[in-house]
Structures are given as C-alpha cells and as structure tokens.
Amino acid sequence: MLALALYWLLRSTRFGGALRAIAIDPVAAQLVAVDVPRSRRSLSPPVAPFMAAAGTLVSMFLSFNASIGIVYTLKALIVVIMGGSAG
C-alpha cells in the first residue's frame, strides 16, 4: 500500500513532478519555476512514514550487534589523528 501511495504521489501530482525534477537537476528545476527550498522542506512530512517503514523492513533482514561500527570507528579515529597531526 505504501509503495502504491508513493507511486501515485510521484506520478499523479504536481508536487510529485516537482520532486522528480529536483531529484534529476535542482538548478534546472529552479529554471522552470520550482521553489526548490520550499519543496524540500515540505517533503519531510509525507515521506516520514515511508522512511519508518523502510527502517522497519531493513531491521528485519539485517542483524545488528554492538560491534557493527568497529571498522568505521577505527577508520574515523585514523582520519582524526592524521588530520590533527597535519594541521
């Protein structure tokens, strides 16, 4: 149902057309009178249920544990140390 609602929103409404134009090229969308900042601000409320559903579905297929971010944390630590010593 959510996918059909999103499809309808993007294909059948003026707002959906503006969002598709912004996704392709924000500068060109402004040239055809699409208010890009306003459209991006008004995008959050209708998309929030889709984001929640996607997060729920992803969490059912992926296992999360405490050590999931160790690799990224070590890489970030190296970058911080190297950046601090160079600056």
Name the residue ranges covered by the structural domains of the chain.
Answer: 2-86
In tens, the pLDDT along 9-58 reads 889 998 888 888 988 999 999 999 889 988 888 877 877 888 888 888 88
> In terms of C-beta density within 10 A (0-12 exposed, 13-18 middle, 19 or more buried), how is residue 29 classed?
buried
Contacts of 34 (CB under 8 A, 6+ apart): 18, 21, 22
Q: Hey, is 60 helix, strand or coil? A: helix
**Do residues 10 and 20 make contact, with C-beta atoms less than 8 angstroms apart?**
yes
pTM for this entry: 0.53
